[in-house]
Amino acid sequence: TNGTDRELRAPICCILGHVDAGKTKLLDCIRRSNVQGGEAGGITQQIGATYLPVENIRKRTSLKAEATIKVPGLLVIDTPGHQSFSNMRLRGSSLCDIAVVAVDITRGLEKQTIESLDLLKHRNVRFIVALNKVDRLYGWKTCPNAPIAKALKNQSDDVQKEFKWRVTEVVTQLKGSGFNSALYYENKKVKEVVNIVPTSSVSGEGIPDLLLLLVRWVPEIMMERLTYVNTVECTVLEVNEDKDFGTTIDVVLINGALRRGDRIVVCTKQGPVTTNIRYLLTPYPMKELKVKGVYKQHEELKAAQGIKIAVRGLQHAIAGTALIVVKPGNDLERAEAAAVQE
Ligand code: GTP
Ligand code: MG
Ligand code: NA
C-alpha cells in the first residue's frame, strides 16, 4: 500500500539519559508544566507517561496549516537517569518505538548516557540525540521557543564557535559508542547517521525541531511498525493505591484497544491473576500519568496510550510484565500461560 489509507497509532517515545541532563524539564517545556519542580531533590524516581495530542504539538512547531501529520499524537515515556534505576530505563526502552537521548551540551556523554546508548544498540532501537542546555553556552542570547537554525543565527561568533566545538566533541564521543551522528539539518544519511537536535528545556530553542522529527520523520521511517492493529499489546509500568479507585495499575497500551469490563490476566508475585477492568482512566492530555490529578473515565481506549486501570486483586502485579486480554470463549489457561511467559 502507499500508506495513505493506513491508520497509524501514536509513536511511543522514551526519553533516556544521564541524571540531570534535562529529560523531565524537556517534557515540562513541551507540556508547559512543572513536574520537575515537584520532584524530591529534583530527581526522577518513577517512569512516567504523557500523551501529547497532535493539535498541541502543531502549535509548538513552525509547520504550515496544510502540512499533514499522519499520527494522532505522541506518547512520551520519561525515565530516571539516576544509576540505581536501570530497570526503568530497560522497561522504557523495551516498549518504545523511538528514543530521545538527552545529553547536556556542557558535559557531553556521561555514564548513564553510555549505558542508555548500549541499551538502545542492544535492542536495536532508533534514537535522536537532544543536545540540551544550549542556553548555557557562555553569552547565549535567548530566543524563546525558536527553531534552532533561527536561534543560532542570532548568536555571536564566539557562541557559534563554542557551539561548533562542543557538537564536534559529542559527535566524537558518540563515535566511541559506535554511532555515527550529525546535526539533523546537516545529516544527509538519516538512515545510518543519528540525528542530533540542539535544544534548551528552559527557553525552548530547538523544541519545534525535535517535535517535528518525532511526528513527521519517525512515522516516515517506521510506517509499518506504527500501523494500528487490533491485537492488544500492553505493558504494566507501576502499581498504585488510589484513594478513590483502590488498586490501580499504570500501563502503556502499545497496540490494540482496552474496554471497561475486559477480562485481563496480569502477572503478580503470587502467579497470574485474572480480573476485570473496573475503570479505564487517563489523565488529561499533556498531563503526566504518574502525577496524582484528575482522571478522565473511558469506555474504550485505543493505542497508543498511557492508562490507569482500576482493578481488584492486583496489589502485587509485577511492573514490566504484559497485560493480556481474555476474550469470551478464549482459553483462560492459555492466556495465563502467555502472561507468565512474557
Ligand atoms: P533525572 O530525571 O533525575 O535523571 O534528571 P533529568 O534528566 O530529568 O533532568 P531535570 O529535568 O531534572 O533537570 C536537571 C536540572 O537541569 C534542573 O535544575 C533543570 O532546571 C536544569 N535544566 C534542564 N534542562 C535545562 C536547559 O535546557 N537549560 C538550563 N539552563 N538548565 C536546564
Ligand atoms: Mg527527570
Ligand atoms: Na533531575
**pLDDT tens readout for residues 288-341:** 999 999 999 999 999 999 999 999 999 999 999 999 999 887 778 788 888 877
Query: Using an 8 Å Cβ cutoff, are 85 and 54 in contact?
Result: no
Question: In ligand 1, which atom is closest to the CA atom of 133?
Answer: 27
Task: Read off the pLDDT band of 1 (50, 70, 90).
Answer: very low
CA of 312 to the centre of ligand 1 (A): 38
Phi-psi region of 108 (alpha: psi -120 to 50; beta: other; left: phi over 0): left
User: What SS3 state is found at 253?
Assistant: strand
CA of 19 to the centre of ligand 2 (A): 7
Assess whether the C-beta atom of 321 lies below 6 angstroms from ligand 1. Answer: no
Assess whether the C-beta atom of 268 lies below 6 angstroms from ligand 1. Answer: no
Q: What is the arithmetic mean of pLDDT over 125-138?
A: 98
Neighbours of ion ligand 3 (CB under 5 A): 20, 42-43
**Residue 87, pLDDT score:** 96
Which residue's C-alpha comes closest to atom 22 of ligand 1?
22
Given CA atoms 184, 62, 212, 14 in this order, what sign does their dihedral have?
Answer: positive
CA of 46 to the centre of ligand 2 (A): 9
Record the pTM: 0.96
Assess whether the C-beta atom of 93 lies below 6 angstroms from ligand 1. Answer: no
Assess whether the C-beta atom of 111 lies below 6 angstroms from ligand 1. Answer: no
CA of 332 to the centre of ligand 1 (A): 46
Assess whether the C-beta atom of 38 lies below 6 angstroms from ligand 1. Answer: no
Q: Which residue is listed with cell 547565549?
A: 140
Which of 101-105, 146-150, 251-255, 332-336 has the least mean pLDDT?
Answer: 332-336
**For residue 99, what is its C-alpha cell?**
528514543
CA of 93 to the centre of ligand 2 (A): 15
Q: What is the arithmetic mean of pLDDT over 177-187?
A: 98
pLDDT tens sequence across 61-91: 988 888 999 999 999 999 999 999 999 999 9
Query: Using an 8 Å Cβ cutoff, are 147 and 185 in contact?
Result: no
CA of 288 to the centre of ligand 2 (A): 12
Assess whether the C-beta atom of 82 lies below 6 angstroms from ligand 1. Answer: yes
Give the chain's length: 342
pLDDT greater than 70 at residue 2: no
CA of 20 to the centre of ligand 3 (A): 4
- Closest Cα to residue 89, out of 109, 110, 117, 108? 117
**Residue 335, pLDDT score:** 80
Closest ligand to C-alpha of residue 19 is: 1
Which residue's C-alpha comes closest to atom 29 of ligand 1?
133
Distance, CA of 32 to CA of 37 (rounded, Å):
12
pLDDT tens sequence across 216-275: 999 999 999 999 999 999 999 999 999 999 999 999 999 999 999 999 999 999 999 999
CA distances from 323 to 46, 116, 196 (A): 20, 26, 35
- Closest Cα to residue 291, out of 217, 240, 226? 240
Pick from 15, 18, 20, 44 the residue to mutate for probing ligand 1's pocket: most ligand atoms within 8 Å of its CB: 20
Neighbours of ion ligand 2 (CB under 5 A): 23-24, 44
CA of 20 to the centre of ligand 1 (A): 5
Assess whether the C-beta atom of 205 lies below 6 angstroms from ligand 1. Answer: no
Query: Using an 8 Å Cβ cutoff, are 294 and 285 in contact?
Result: no
**Residue 342, pLDDT score:** 64
